[in-house]
């Protein structure tokens, strides 16, 4: 029973998690690091915005976005960011509100494969992981 499970994805794994949520997999919540939702458009000729809307309507989502990720993921004006944060069904308030959070100085992949010998990379990776942990704990 997936209703007691939270999901975490990295890059294309965020697409898989978001697609699963959109298709009705009943995750309690989902967290994505440096998401690549464009896979929905590029590989399948589908609509990533529609997928994000279906997923956000069903599941509270937190996406941690790198500075060089697509602009549609970045708050406040990115379409995906607006979809995720505007899901009225999952209004938690504060830091546990579904949202996209941009880490503007980070490069795609910084959480899973960033050079943590660089202090700023280590700090932002730890910050993103702590946000994820808090989000999961809140929604689980």
| Mean pLDDT per 10-residue interval, the chain, length 140 residues | 82 95 94 91 82 94 96 95 84 80 97 96 98 93
Q: Do residues 86 and 79 lie in contact, with contact meaning Cβ atoms separated by under 8 Å?
A: no
Give the DSSP letter string of 26-37: --SEEEEES--T
Q: Do residues 126 and 133 lie in contact, with contact meaning Cβ atoms separated by under 8 Å?
A: no
Query: What pLDDT is recorded for position 32?
Result: 97
Radius of gyration of the chain (CA): 14
Q: At what angle do helices 48-58 and 12-22 cross, to 10 degrees?
A: 60
Query: What pLDDT is recorded for position 2?
Result: 54
Query: 6: which strand partners?
Result: 29
Query: What pLDDT is recorded for position 41?
Result: 73
């Amino acid at each position: 029973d997936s209703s007691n499970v939270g999901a975490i994805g990295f890059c294309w794994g965020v697409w898989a998690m978001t697609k699963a949520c959109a298709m009705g997999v009943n995750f309690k919540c989902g967290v994505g690091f440096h998401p690549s939702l464009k896979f929905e458009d590029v590989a399948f000729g589908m609509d990533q915005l529609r997928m994000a809307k279906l997923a956000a309507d069903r599941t509270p989502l937190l996406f941690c976005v790198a500075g060089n990720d697509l602009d549609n993921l970045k708050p406040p004006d990115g379409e995906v960011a607006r979809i995720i944060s505007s899901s009225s069904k999952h209004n938690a308030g504060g830091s546990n509100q579904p949202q996209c959070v941009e880490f503007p100085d980070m490069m795609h992949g910084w959480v899973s494969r960033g050079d943590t010998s660089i202090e700023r990379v280590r700090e932002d990776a730890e910050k993103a992981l702590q946000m994820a942990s808090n989000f999961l704990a809140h929604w689980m």
